[in-house]
Structure 1
Amino acid sequence: MEDLSRFKQTYFDESAELLAVAESGLLRLTPGEVDSDEVNAIFRAVHSIKGGGGAFGFTELVAFAHEFETVMDGVRNSAIPVTTELVDTLIRANDVLGQMLAYAREGEAAPPGTTDDTVAALRRHLSGEAKPVHAGPAHAEPAAAKAPEPVAAAPAAYPDDEDDEAGIFGDAMALIEAARAYENPVPEGKIRWTVTFRPKADLLMSGNEPTFMLRALRRLGEAQIDCSVENLPTLQNLEAELLFLSWTVTLIADPDVDLEKINDVFEFVADECDIKITAEAPPPAVVEAPIAESEPAPVATEPVPVAAAPVAPPKAPEAAKPRANAGGGGEHAGLTSHTIRVDLDKIDRLVNMVGEMVITQAMIAEHVRELPQGEFQELLEGLEQLAQHTRELRESVMSIRAQPVSSVFSRMPRLVRECAAATAKEVQLVTSGETTEVDKTVVENLVDPLTHMIRNSIDHGLEGPDERERVGKPRAGTVHLSAQHRSGRIVIEITDDGRGINRPKVLSKAIEKGLVQPGASLSDEEIDNLIFLPGFSTADQVSNLSGRGVGMDVVRRNITSLGGRIGVYSTPGEGSRFVLSLPLTLAVLDGMVISVGEERFVLPLTNIVESLRPKPADLHGLVGKCDVMMARGEYVRLVYLHQLFGIPKAVTDPTRALVVLVETEDGSRLGLVVDEVLGQQQVVIKSLEANFRRLDGVAAATILGDGRVALILDVAGLREMSRHHESGTTRAVAALPAPELEPV
């Protein structure tokens, strides 16, 4: 029973991936630009879900997937034209298939009528191209309108671009006479493949149907299908759920059709049939060598083969290798698997153990510092190797949890399509950096923020098509979604080319809702950030997309809970840009331990540029503002950590303390005034918000080697804190001593 549950879980996991593949393919399916590879990928995804469902007895799921699959087969055969209405129906069908999978996962029956509307819509598209059935009552309905049959029943009828709708039996039998009467030599430049296909009797019970495979072979070239009925029992002994037929297919194909492509046709049923594939190349041509005038003509003894189109000898046993069953992704079972499914809880426990190892290693290193100099050299070397191995182990474990953001980005085209339809706007989504990897926990928490922000860009940012034309813009607005690594963090940007933020309207709405005092003087940046306040919205009417004021504040809350930040930059008439900055991992980072007074802090190593001790000539005070320092040819704002956090007994004079130059994600620099730099150390990230509460300028906490708790500083947060610090903190710098600038 445990084994069956494990297999079911694998099926549901793979089905979720296949649903995502089908949805992304459907969203790229546009009228007039049908990509056959895309259509085949969608068909295979649905067929895999159906086949696996049949193996576990999910009858309702299989029946619906059968309807979905039949329409996709019609699209593959160009029997059903691709229209916007068809794509909408197929997307809806993919959603319903996901619902059926959810019910099957929970072991519940789908509510009556769950699939009725979608099945009716699928059949309408199918019946528009279906041909009448030649046999049966004069007023018989087309096969597409028949009720779905249970998985154990004989195959339903399917439309075909050349044959009648008589199902698998009539479809094959209609070709027997033509196949027997047709026999030609292999044309020049072609290859003749002979495929013998003998399915097991219970093939139909797994949800697989030979009709699709025969049609797939015909798409590879000119196919002659010979159906063998020698194993067909008498009518009295015939069992409708069993299959007694076999086929021999003679395929005349181009040289680019190789053994692998033919094997792919049977990838879902290779372990449920006997398959034999052989190839026959065209006879080699004779090339006569040029005859020199002074020499007698040689007698031709053997034909010289032409160098074009060599054919590798067929490997019949390879065709019969067992493959993964339906839903298995089509991998050869005989090949070594390069992936393994691991429960996420096991990885989390591994990450936690690595974190504890890092803490223990730091504690040992702390105690080793107290040993006499020059002694215990072997111990010190061993600890150095241990630290190196711990770092490599940490990086390997972190890479296991890393996932590309494409899993989130792939959901956005569907969202853009729906929002564009709801707002009657033309929208084009452009994505970049989908392969950028980030911790799985971060990826899982990106869906909601990106959903809200893209909706906001389409609903509030982009103009309507007519308005865009009037201002000289293309009718279709563009939303650009990008991701990249920068300064040890992942930066995700959502950019639109709309009208930008209407700052006067934002400010008036904020005053109207009591979020800002009347007469308040706010900068453009402060006005832009008002959109993140709870309850704020500039929409005049509440719609399905916006107007309730519960969107952008949720975005900021979710991002800050991950130790991230969000910034907004807008240019009226040109568009807006939202920037999300998130940590790559929520487990371990490399940091620099610094001291301020008697307190210890950790600065992320990726933010640090250098540390130095300035001389008085490089220090300048801006009256009522802040102190700045000239460093490497540019002025850098000084931030006194002891002032921001109220730390006593700290060194307040930068010429006697140290200034650590740090860089934020947007490239701006700060000079943090600290007492001392104690050294580099790997630290384990502990959420301060989850265990205590959120603090400005602090990203998280950690445990140092001596057992003390230290705060991990947020550089961008420190910049914001310093900007809002009272102006009375500016210090005089005229009387400072004058040591030389020296890097530390």
Structure 2
Amino acid sequence: MSGAPSIRDMFFEECEELLEALVEGLAGLEASGPDAAESLDTVNAVFRAVHSIKGGAGAFGLDALVDFAHTFETVLDKVRSGSLTADADLMRLFHRSGDQLANLVEAARDDVPANAEAAGAVLSELQKYLGDEDAEEDFVFEAMGLDLGESASVLTPDTFEISFVPKRALYENGHEPLLLFDALAELGTLEVTADTTGIPAFDGFDPTDAYLGWTLRLTTTESETLLHEIFEFVEALCTLDITKSSAAAPAPEPPGLIDLPDLGGLPDLTELPDTSALPDPDPIAAEAPAASAGKTHEKEVRGPKPTLRVDLDRVDRLINTVGELIINQAMISQRIEELDLPSVAHVTNELEAYKLLARDIQEGVMAIRAQPVKPLFQRMSRIVREASDATGKTARIVTQGDSTEVDKTVIERLADPMTHMVRNAVDHGLEAPDARIAAGKDPCGTIRLSAAHRSGSVFIEISDDGAGLNRERILATAIAKNLVPADAELTESEIDNLLFLPGFSTANAVSNLSGRGVGMDVVKNAVQALGGRVSISSQTGKGSTFSIVLPLTLAVLDGFVISVADQTMVIPIASILETVRPQARDLHRIGIDDQVISIRGNYVPVVDVAANLGIRRSGPAPCGILLLVATDPRGMSALRVDAIHDQRQVVIKSLESNYGRIPGVSAATILGDGKIALILDPEELVNLNMGAQPSAGLPPPVQKELRHVDGT
């Protein structure tokens, strides 16, 4: 069992969250513009993220990280104070600074030397926005004295009006307003006035709620930034407003004690009066304050949600245990069915309750691993910037559906394929700025990332508004590399899919981004390893879209238990649009062995699952049952199976790690009778059927593999 994480590990985990907030804040500032009303709040959020990283790094002696973060936050502070305007050039520098800050955090976490040259280049650009005074301050940052003599008297004090209204959550989290006031009093002269108007009548008073608010007047020579730092850890737990007073400020006086106002109007809660002789209160009059207090409580319960950091290995063990629980439930169900008990037996009802409970546990455990794709999309924004700089193009990224939740393992293993596809979109998809202007387009290209849940799967799309695929060039390159015959007649979708062939590349020269022949085939293999599929659609002059379809989880799925030539298999329900029991008159023969079925006026190709898996039947193929599936780019197809036995939830077991890859099969599972059943991949079955031509070669038979897997 792994030990608890160290404080240093916790710091770097918090850095990941702070860097995500930094990227989100910069994107929001860029989208809203520097003149928007919410821009100041966004800049404050970005500043707090950088400042928090700096503070934690200082505690661990990470000097390079501290120095960079200090310069970064100093420039941000100038934007907060209005000395600088976050124009397009400064925003690009902020994005680069955020990337470099992430690099420094990663280097410190892995205890490896950081790229000092890259950090120095960004640091020098940041320092250009700082005046001589700021540069001198940086130089003597560690050697600043604490001389409070005559030199301090030349500083002009400012007066700040502070409105501070705590929420209930502030007290629940253990914060004490008096400590905050003491910290303010050390900065100058502080006047405190309490607002007691929010205190309800005695019978509606809740001692655990927050009713008091304070107005504070502070005269100090310190900056407003330092005041925000004092309230940094309670800003989400209170209503806070700090404004600089326009009136002339009095001369500063030595710090003293806080002079709290007389609260004589409040009842003395230590000496409660005898209420036995008092008349009964009016129920209507008493109900109103209580209801008001309830509404206040309902509105003011805010603040960060409690979270618990758990080692991922523990979650994985829990998921595996839940998977075995589901298998055990299926086995018990099988044994009870074999007993042929009456349908009214109590054990049947209890077993159904057991089944529902196991499913609830499984869904709850899977929800623990579910994470939004937002961090992945934020990482892609950095890839777009780097690819744009490398190619001399300008591009922006637009995201949609970044709150869509996916299994954490899927997100981690999808990072590399998406990085390659985003780079390709910038390098190959987008035109140069001059070419875009000539085509009547915005010189800045757009890379769009979207995610959504549909039909029990996760759909992720990477699209660009470039020139689209050059199919003539793709086909010519494939012919030149002997990937297809010279006389091949291919449809547009078939030409597009040539991009997924191993070693295919249309780049004229090797660069940092492309040209080495390691391309979309790696992407396709990575997506298929996750149980998903990838497809392309493109329009000349309008751009291209790469679509990735993935399962919600890699642990369990809902499927039909079917028979294929005396073999028991499972097919995912999410892939099935409709089931059809065909009539002989609806089936039409095409060529020698192929068939189509007429469904509502449309002809759909029939795919014999047994034939495409290489399984021999003892007799002629039955009409069976057809499962209509929609595949991309083949469209609708009908999979012929012999029978459908049951619908159940099955636990996914990897074949590639335990045995090997079988064409048309994505994984395996254990049924209630203890036997192994293969989980079919409808997409690949359709592709096998379309590729079963003499020129392409028949799909390899898997009868031998099936016998090895199921042990028969």
Q: CA deviation at 1:27?
A: 4.6
Change beyond 3 A, Cα 1:18–1:259: closer
Candidates 155, 173, 182, aligned match of 1:198 = 182
Q: If the length of structure 2 is used for normalisation, what is the TM-score?
A: 0.74
Distance 1:147 1:627, change over 3 A: farther
Residues 531 and 376 (structure 1), Cα distance of their counterparts in 2 relative to 1, 3 Å cut: same
Q: Which amino acid aligns with 2:139?
A: K
Change (3 A) 1:196 1:430: closer
Letter of the 1:14 counterpart: E
1:314-348 alpha-carbon deviations (Å, 9 max, x no partner): x9xxx9xxxxxxxxxxx99xx78532111111111
In the alignment, the residues of structure 1 paired with residue 150 and residue 219 of structure 2 have an alpha-carbon distance, to the nearest angstrom, of 12
For residues 174 and 194 of structure 1, what CA distance do their matches in structure 2 show? 28
Q: 1:703 to 1:154 in 2, by over 3 A?
A: farther
The alignment status of 1:395 with 2:374, answered yes or no, reads: no
In 2, Cα distance between equivalents of 1:431 and 1:336: 25
Structure 2 Cα separation of the partners of residues 380 and 429 of structure 1: 55
Change (3 A) 1:616 1:475: same
Alignment of 1:68-217 (within 5 A): 68-106=72-110, 115-127=119-131, 130=132, 143-149=136-142, 174-176=155-157, 197-199=181-183
Map of 2:240 onto structure 1: 261
Superposed, 1:718-733 pairs within 5 Å as: 718-726=685-693
Q: 1:434 to 1:277 in 2, by over 3 A?
A: farther
Q: 1:515/1:638 Cα in 2 relative to 1: closer, same or farther (>3 Å)? A: closer
Could you say which residue in structure 2 is the equivalent of 1:65? 69
Among candidates 684, 695, 699, match of residue 717 of structure 1: 684
CA positional deviation for 1:351: 0.6
Instruction: State the match for 1:643 in structure 2.
Output: 611
Partner-residue secondary structure (3-state), 2:367 = helix
| Cα distance, 1:167–1:97 mapped onto 2, change above 3 Å | farther
Among residues 471, 478, 481, which one is paired with 1:510 in the alignment? Answer: 478
2:173 corresponds to: none
- Correspondence for 1:233: none
Which residue does the alignment assign to 1:685? 652
- Higher deviation after alignment, 110-119 or 588-597: 110-119
Shift of 1:114: 7.8
Q: Relative to structure 1, is the Cα distance of residues 274 and 416 closer, same or farther in structure 2, using a 3 angstrom cutoff?
A: farther
CA–CA distance in 2 between the matches of 1:60 and 1:594?
61
Task: Give the corresponding residue for 1:551.
Answer: 519
CA RMSD of aligned residues (A): 4.4
Secondary structure of the 1:149 match is helix
Q: Deviations over 1:196-239 (max 9, x none)?
A: 743399x9xxxxxx79x9xxxxxxxx99643499xxxxxxxxxx
The question of whether the paired residues in 1 share the 8 Å contact of 2:449 and 2:461 is answered with yes
- After TM superposition, give the deviation of residue 172 of structure 1 in Å: 9.5
1:618/1:109 CA distance change after superposition, 3 Å: closer
Pick closer, same or farther for the CA change 1:580–1:172 going to 2, 3 Å. Answer: farther
How far off its partner does 1:20 sit?
A: 2.3
1:567 matched to which residue of 2? 535
SS in 2 for 1:528: helix
Q: Deviations 1:552-598 (Å, cap 9, x if unpaired)?
A: 22211211111111111222233222111111110011111001122
User: Which one-letter code corresponds to 1:260 in the other structure?
Assistant: T
1:151-183 deviation line (CA, Å, top 9, x unaligned): xx669xxxxxxxxxx99998897344x75xx99
- Residue in structure 1 matching 2:561, options 579, 586, 593: 593
For the residue of structure 1 that corresponds to 2:79, the secondary structure is helix
SS at match of 1:360: helix
SS in 2 for 1:370: helix
Measure the CA separation in 2 of the matches of 1:261 and 1:651.
81
CA distance in 1, matches of 2:450, 2:22: 23
How far the C-alpha of 1:712 sits from its partner, in A, is 0.8
User: Aligned partners of 1:362 and 1:537: how far apart in 2?
Assistant: 49
The sequence identity of aligned pairs, in percent, is 42
For structure 2, list consecutive stretches of 5 or more residues without a partner in the other structure: 162-176, 191-214, 229-235, 245-254, 263-292, 698-712
- In the TM superposition, what is the alpha-carbon distance from 1:371 to its structure 2 partner? 0.7
Report the Cα offset of residue 418 of structure 1. 2.8
Aligned partners of 1:604 and 1:588: how far apart in 2? 10
Aligned partners of 2:526 and 2:579: how far apart in 1? 33
Determine which of 428, 443, 465 is the counterpart of 1:460. 428
Which of 315, 318, 324 in structure 2 is aligned with 1:356? 324
Whole-angstrom CA distance in 2 between matches of 1:364 and 1:702: 16
Q: 1:375 to 1:469 in 2, by over 3 A?
A: closer
Aligned mates of 2:149, 2:314 — CA distance in 1? 47
Deviations 1:281-328 (A, max 9, x none): xxxxxxxxxxxxxxxxxxxxxxxxxxxxxxx9xx9xxx9xxxxxxxxx
- Tell me the residue number matched to 2:336: 368
1:603 Cα deviation from its structure 2 partner = 0.9
Counterparts of 1:673 and 1:455, CA distance in 2: 41
> Offset of 1:695 from its aligned partner?
2.3
Q: Cα 1:21–1:567, aligned 2, differ >3 Å: closer, same or farther?
A: same
Task: Give the Cα–Cα distance (whole angstroms) in 2 for the partners of residues 692 and 387 of structure 1.
Answer: 30
Aligned residues of 1:625 and 1:727 also touching (Cα < 8 A): no
Determine which structure has the larger helix proportion and give its number. 2
Structure-to-structure mapping, 1:467-482, within 5 angstroms: 467-482=435-450
**Compared CA separation, residues 518 and 112, structure 1 to 2 (3 A):** closer
Asked if residue 421 in structure 1 is aligned to residue 389 in structure 2, the reply is yes
Please give the residue correspondences for 1:647-662 in structure 2 after superposition, counting only pairs within 5 Å: 647-649=615-617, 652-655=620-623, 657-662=624-629
Counterpart in the other structure of 1:622: 590
Q: Relative to 1, partners in 2 of residues 1:25 and 1:200: Cα closer, same or farther, differing over 3 Å? A: closer
Output one character per residue of 1:680-732: Cα deviation in whole Å (capped at 9) or x when no partner.
12111111222222222212111111121111111111111111224899xxx
Distance in 2, Cα, partners of 1:73 & 1:383: 63
Aligned to 2:16: 16
* Contact 1:175 1:224 (C-alpha < 8 Å) held by counterparts: no
Match of 1:283 in 2: none
Deviations 1:31-90 (A, max 9, x none): 755722221111000111122233444444334322222221112112233344433443
| Letter aligned with residue 599 of structure 1 | Q
Structure 1 residues 510 and 107, CA, compared in 2 at 3 Å: closer, same or farther? closer
Output the TM-score relative to the length of structure 1: 0.71
CA-CA distance at 1:620 after TM superposition: 1.0
Corresponding residue for 2:49?
45
Take 2:458 and 2:153, find their aligned partners in 1: how far apart are those partners?
Answer: 56
Assess, with a 3 A threshold, how the Cα gap between structure 1 residues 66 and 477 changes in structure 2: closer, same or farther. Answer: closer
Q: Return closer, same or farther for 1:534/1:673 CA change in 2, 3 Å cut-off.
A: closer
